[in-house]
Chains A and B, each alone.
Chain A
Amino acid sequence: MRRIFVIAFRNIFAHTRRSAILGAAIAFVTFFLVSSFAASSALQDSMVDSATTLASGHVNVGGFYKASIGVAQPQIVDYAKVEAVVKAASPHIRYIQRRSRGKFDRVTSEKTSLMNAVAGIDFKQDQQLRNRLVILEGSFDALEQPGTALVFKRQADELGVKVGDSITVSGLTARGVQNRMDAKVAAIAKDMGGLSQIMTFLPEKSVNELYEFRAENTGVLMIFLDDKEHSLEVAAVVRKALADAGYDMMEPEARPFWQKYQTVEREDWTGQKLDVSTWRDEMGDLAKTVDALDGVSVLLTLVLLSIIAIGLWNTLMMAVRERTPEIGALRAIGMSRGKVRLMFVAEAGFLALMASFAGAVLAGIMVAILNAVEIGVSDPILQFILMSDHLSFRIDPARVLNAILLISVFASIAALWPAHRAAKIQPGTAMSHTG
């Protein structure tokens, strides 16, 4: 019955002060929840962005080759055959990019040395890098020459190098030989979150020489999809396709590949094993941290909501007491208990809906302003965590809707008991009441 909702709605505005206080509290909680969701959405975005540019495809086929039990090389032997199997596995695959994987090795300049993850890039082909990296000095084209290197700004500053300067990269081969190679810095790229602080890119050919990799082998096939949401599904399909094609597969595990060396080297197999991972797996604990962050904000929201529920409960109990004669009269003239209950629950629900909508709008405005201002972050640890050099937020409409619904439903539940009390008011109370 529509009129009952009209009454509920108008009663919110009939008690301006009370509703304003409650509404403000609900709006605040929504504001908090939506803002923190926006922060974590943006964090997710930059995490995906930096992961899928620097270290991973949406899905990866990597693996290890062990000539003997104790020594593992990050190699896919005869990658062309593997690539053919992968390509046919799923229609979601847009393209596949090949990269050589080095290890954590020393990069030395005249000034200092760093331990970095070394990767070999086919700079001519690697569209992902070309599209996403911002080159501050030098150029991509210059990187097509062997014996060059791409470093990121912060590393360049630490190493004290400019374009044209030389760095030395050392690499430990499977035979246990420490090779060294001089490389000329051909490009300096803008930092891209924490990952870019620990990566150095060399031409594929140079990395293969440094580690004595064969040209028909590669480190990883990075698979890019039409939509990153398909990552898990495609990973499963690819894993199955490769297993069906006769490859030995590693168990899926949410760790970046370089953390898998030790385990693999301790296992007693030799030969080739392939490893299918998603970008989330390659982000390891960082992905879990973002999830945990979401969990914490939902938890905190529930705590805040519980406090608000108590306020709501109190206010509605007060309203029930105040409106006892009115409700008694409504019951006397034939309104059912269910409708009385509905009226109070609707009042709380409407209030929460409006207030949380307002809170969400405010959060949206704040997020828009903060994004426009681009608050920079200079602390490297914070940069590493944020995966970005500035604070950013993204409002995900679906999550905002969820937040508003969550809060409104919660408020309606808090209203159930007062509504029940209202429904139990005896119609007789209207009769003898003098007022």
Chain B
Amino acid sequence: MGNGAGDAVVVLEAVTKDYPLGKTTVHAVRGVDIRLERGEFAVLAGPSGSGKTTVLNLIGCVDVATSGKVIIAGRDTKLLKESERTRLRLETLGFIFQSFNLIPVLDLYQNVEFPLLLRKDIDKAERKRRVLELVERVGLTGQMKQRPGELSGGQRQRVAIARALVTRPAIVLADEPTANLDSATGQSILELMRQMNRDGTTFLFSTHDPVVMAAARRVIRIADGKIADQGFGANPSAGAAAAHAH
């Protein structure tokens, strides 16, 4: 893996993001280069306010960089119209949110199915096959008819994972996916994502939880809007955190 630009799912080049804040400007991201290859399981780690969410938003095409290049699956997102970015999100990206954000009035099955309904290229039989497969893989086959309100936090996040994966995205983005869960549930969610990764899905998530960092194959460290460590090679702090957790 990782031989040539063809396999890069995400390429950020000298990306900055400024937010106006009253009369001043917040430089949330100040010149970030990141390259993620197909099949990675990477964590974006850093203290609060370091710019993790901002970077994820830029990669997720829900926000536009102030300068620099954001290339997702070979497409320069700056050149896309709003409707094209929406389509890119639908077809190429998967999202898992900290607060799950399922549709309360739909049941589990319908929530997982939803992104597929937004697409015209997937027929009914294929839809059903994919949804049932993912619901089984996240271990919720018995809760198919339940609505989010009837599920626990961990179960909801499993539904969210199934929903994110059902479109077979090039990369799944998760902003602090375990922050609203107790540590045991967080662990099992993490385990589930790692399993999905072994089966071929690329993941990038943010966290400041050492336990989560320990689970990652690559930890990209961000501080003050800049990359402090690309996470290649030895990762003593992740190892230490893992040791600390056990």
Q: Could you mark each residue 402-435 of chain A with 1 if its beta carbon is under 8 Å from any beta carbon of chain B, else 0?
A: 0000000000000000000000001110111111
Tell me, rounded to whole Å, the shortest Cβ–Cβ distance linking A18 to chain B. 14
Known: A326-B101, A332-B60, A427-B89. 6 other contacts (CB 8 A): A3-B106, A332-B95, A332-B97, A333-B114, A334-B87, A431-B53
Taking CB atoms and an 8 Å cut-off, the chain A residues in 386-402 that contact chain B are: none
Q: Which of B101, B113, B117 contacts A430 (CB 8 A)?
A: B101
Tell me, rounded to whole Å, the shortest Cβ–Cβ distance linking B229 to chain A. 23
A328 part of interface (Cβ distance < 8 Å): yes
B13 part of interface (Cβ distance < 8 Å): no
Expressed in whole angstroms, the Cα–Cα distance for A336 and B82 within the complex equals: 9
A321 part of interface (Cβ distance < 8 Å): no
Expressed in whole angstroms, the Cα–Cα distance for A326 and B114 within the complex equals: 13
Q: Decide if A334 touches B53 in the complex (CB within 8 Å).
A: no
Q: Decide if B97 touches A334 in the complex (CB within 8 Å).
A: no
B187 part of interface (Cβ distance < 8 Å): no
Expressed in whole angstroms, the Cα–Cα distance for A337 and B62 within the complex equals: 13
Q: Decide if B86 touches A431 in the complex (CB within 8 Å).
A: no
Expressed in whole angstroms, the Cα–Cα distance for A10 and B97 within the complex equals: 23
A370 part of interface (Cβ distance < 8 Å): no
B37 part of interface (Cβ distance < 8 Å): no
* Cβ–Cβ < 8 Å partners of A435 in chain B: 99, 180
Q: Could you mark each residue 319-335 of chain A with 1 if its beta carbon is under 8 Å from any beta carbon of chain B, else 0?
A: 00000011011111111
B209 part of interface (Cβ distance < 8 Å): no
What is the size, in residues, of chain A's interface with B at 8 Å between Cβ atoms?
Answer: 29
Q: Which of B56, B95, B106, B163 contacts A6 (CB 8 A)?
A: B106
Expressed in whole angstroms, the Cα–Cα distance for A11 and B115 within the complex equals: 19
Q: Could you mark each residue 84-103 of chain B with 1 if its beta carbon is under 8 Å from any beta carbon of chain A, else 0?
A: 00110111001101110111
Given known A333-B89, A333-B90, A334-B90, contact A434–B99 (CB-CB < 8 A) = yes
* Cβ–Cβ < 8 Å partners of B239 in chain A: none
Expressed in whole angstroms, the Cα–Cα distance for A11 and B106 within the complex equals: 10
Q: Decide if A3 touches B117 in the complex (CB within 8 Å).
A: yes
Chain B's closest residue to A2 (CB) is: B117
Q: Decide if A326 touches B104 in the complex (CB within 8 Å).
A: yes
Expressed in whole angstroms, the Cα–Cα distance for A67 and B206 within the complex equals: 106
A136 part of interface (Cβ distance < 8 Å): no
* Cβ–Cβ < 8 Å partners of A10 in chain B: 105-106
Tell me, rounded to whole Å, the shortest Cβ–Cβ distance linking A11 to chain B. 6
Chain B's closest residue to A339 (CB) is: B118
Q: Decide if A431 touches B115 in the complex (CB within 8 Å).
A: no
Taking CB atoms and an 8 Å cut-off, the chain A residues in 332-347 that contact chain B are: 332-337, 339
Q: Which of A7, A333, A434 contacts B180 (CB 8 A)?
A: A434
B34 part of interface (Cβ distance < 8 Å): no
Taking CB atoms and an 8 Å cut-off, the chain B residues in 200-245 that contact chain A are: none
Q: Decide if A336 touches B86 in the complex (CB within 8 Å).
A: yes
Q: Could you mark each residue 9-29 of chain A with 1 if its beta carbon is under 8 Å from any beta carbon of chain B, else 0?
A: 011001000000000000000
Given known A332-B89, A434-B179, contact A428–B62 (CB-CB < 8 A) = yes
* Cβ–Cβ < 8 Å partners of A426 in chain B: 62-63
B143 part of interface (Cβ distance < 8 Å): no
A88 part of interface (Cβ distance < 8 Å): no
Chain A's closest residue to B56 (CB) is: A431
Chain B's closest residue to A429 (CB) is: B62
Given known A334-B90, A428-B62, A432-B53, contact A328–B180 (CB-CB < 8 A) = no
Q: Decide if B99 touches A14 in the complex (CB within 8 Å).
A: no
B185 part of interface (Cβ distance < 8 Å): no
Q: Decide if B63 touches A428 in the complex (CB within 8 Å).
A: yes
B83 part of interface (Cβ distance < 8 Å): yes
Chain B's closest residue to A325 (CB) is: B101
A177 part of interface (Cβ distance < 8 Å): no
Q: Which of A7, A335, A433 contacts B97 (CB 8 A)?
A: A433
Q: Decide if A329 touches B83 in the complex (CB within 8 Å).
A: no
Expressed in whole angstroms, the Cα–Cα distance for A434 and B48 within the complex equals: 14
* Cβ–Cβ < 8 Å partners of B117 in chain A: 1, 3
Expressed in whole angstroms, the Cα–Cα distance for A326 and B82 within the complex equals: 19
Chain B's closest residue to A330 (CB) is: B103
* Cβ–Cβ < 8 Å partners of A329 in chain B: 95, 97, 101-102
| Among all A-B residue pairs, the 4 with the closest Cβ atoms | A334-B90, A329-B101, A10-B105, A427-B62
B197 part of interface (Cβ distance < 8 Å): no
Q: Which of B82, B101, B118 contacts A1 (CB 8 A)?
A: B118
Expressed in whole angstroms, the Cα–Cα distance for A343 and B82 within the complex equals: 19
Q: Decide if B89 touches A334 in the complex (CB within 8 Å).
A: yes
Q: Which of B56, B104, B110, B115 contacts A334 (CB 8 A)?
A: B115
B50 part of interface (Cβ distance < 8 Å): no
Expressed in whole angstroms, the Cα–Cα distance for A202 and B60 within the complex equals: 92
B66 part of interface (Cβ distance < 8 Å): no
* Cβ–Cβ < 8 Å partners of B110 in chain A: 3, 6
Expressed in whole angstroms, the Cα–Cα distance for A326 and B87 within the complex equals: 18
Given known A427-B62, A433-B97, contact A7–B106 (CB-CB < 8 A) = yes
Tell me, rounded to whole Å, the shortest Cβ–Cβ distance linking A119 to chain B. 69
Chain B's closest residue to A4 (CB) is: B117
B175 part of interface (Cβ distance < 8 Å): yes
Taking CB atoms and an 8 Å cut-off, the chain A residues in 42-94 that contact chain B are: none
* Cβ–Cβ < 8 Å partners of A430 in chain B: 95, 97, 101
Expressed in whole angstroms, the Cα–Cα distance for A312 and B179 within the complex equals: 37
Chain B's closest residue to A11 (CB) is: B105
